[in-house]
Amino acid sequence: MIRVAMTSVYVDDVPKAHAFYTDVLGFETRTRLDLGGGTLFITVGAPRGAQPDLQLLLEPGQGPIADPYRRAVYEAGLPAIVFSVDDLRSEYDRLRALGVRFPHEPQDQGPVVAAVLDDTVGNLIQLTQPKG
């Protein structure tokens, strides 16, 4: 059986992304390695062991491929990644109170309710809650 162990999201500032994904979104740090020369390898994941084998790598998004890709996805209004939540309205209210910008407020989208937030480091992130 093949499972997803790690996926990445390109960010324009790894330390800033780490602060946003942990302090604001509530993820926990899984790995933090200083590779030297100002390069950090940081992964985060769902807190309290909710998904212990799944990590999100905060990948430096500079360079001739990553930067244009990340910008094009953002400018097209496409989420770089989708997270699920148990109570979208509650998360939306909590995050708004923390100053998070939502280009798309919660709305019905077929079998889910979804909202899109700006992660402050070059990405749009979609939050979804299954209906029913």
Report CA-CA distances (Å) from 122 to 12, 45, 116, 128: 6, 19, 13, 20
Domains and CATH numbers, the chain: 1-62 (3.10.180.10), 73-132 (3.10.180.10)
- Residue 61: its pLDDT value, please? 86
One pLDDT digit (tens) per residue for the chain, 132 residues = 999 999 999 999 999 999 999 999 999 999 999 999 888 999 999 998 888 899 999 999 888 989 899 999 999 999 999 999 999 999 999 999 999 999 999 999 999 999 999 999 999 999 999 997
Q: Kindly report the CA angle at 117 between 90 and 44, in degrees rounded to 5?
A: 85
pTM of the predicted model, to two decimals? Answer: 0.93
Beta strands per DSSP E along the chain: 6-11, 28-36, 39-45, 55-60, 81-84, 104-109, 112-118, 124-130
